[in-house]
Amino acid sequence: MIPILNHLPIASVFDEVPLGWFLTLSLLMFTLGAVGVVVRRNPVVVFMCIELMLNAVNLTFLSFAAYPTQMVALSNPGEAAITGQMVVIFVMAIAAAEVAVGLGIIMAIFRLRNEADVDDMNTMRG
C-alpha cells in the first residue's frame, strides 16, 4: 500500500445521502431509548434502552467522522476521521464492561428480593 494515497480523498459512491439523514436516525434512536428508560419497569429492558442510546451516539460519531468539517479538514485531513472511529471503539469496550457489571447487579438484586421492579428499588433513598 502506497502511503501517499492515504490522505487523498477518493470519490465515494455514497455521496448522495445527506449527513442530516444519518443524524436524524441517530436522534430518533436516542429519544426512543430515553422514553424507554423512563417508561419501562423491568431493569433488563431499561438496560437495553441504555444500549440503544449508546448506539445512537456511536452512529453520530461515525457520521461526523465520515463528513469532516471544514475546519478540521484544513488542519489535518486524516485526523478527524480516525478520531471518530477510535471514540466508537472505546465506547464499545466500555459499553461491554457496563453491561457485564449492570447485569451482575441485576442478578444480585433478583437474588436478594426475588423480583425486580425499578420503581421498588428505593432502599438507598436517603
Partner 1 sequence: MTLNQIAFIVLSCLALFGAVGVVFFNTPVRSAMALVVNFFTLGLVYFMLGSELIGITQIMVYAGAIMVLFLFVIMILKSTNDTDKPQLGERRFLFSLLGAGIVFGMIYRYVIMPTMGRTDIQFTRTYGTPQEIGKTLFTQYAWPFEIVSMLLLVGIVGSIMLAKRKF
Rounded Cα gap, residues 56 and 40, in angstroms: 19
To partner 1, the closest distance from the beta carbon of 3 in angstroms equals 9
- Residue number, 18 or 126, with CB nearest to partner 1: 18
To partner 1, the closest distance from the beta carbon of 121 in angstroms equals 13
- Residue number, 103 or 121, with CB nearest to partner 1: 103
To partner 1, the closest distance from the beta carbon of 71 in angstroms equals 14
Joined grid coordinates for residue 33 = 431509548
Query: Which are the contacts of 91, defined by CB distance < 8 A and separation ≥ 6?
Result: 54, 57, 58, 61
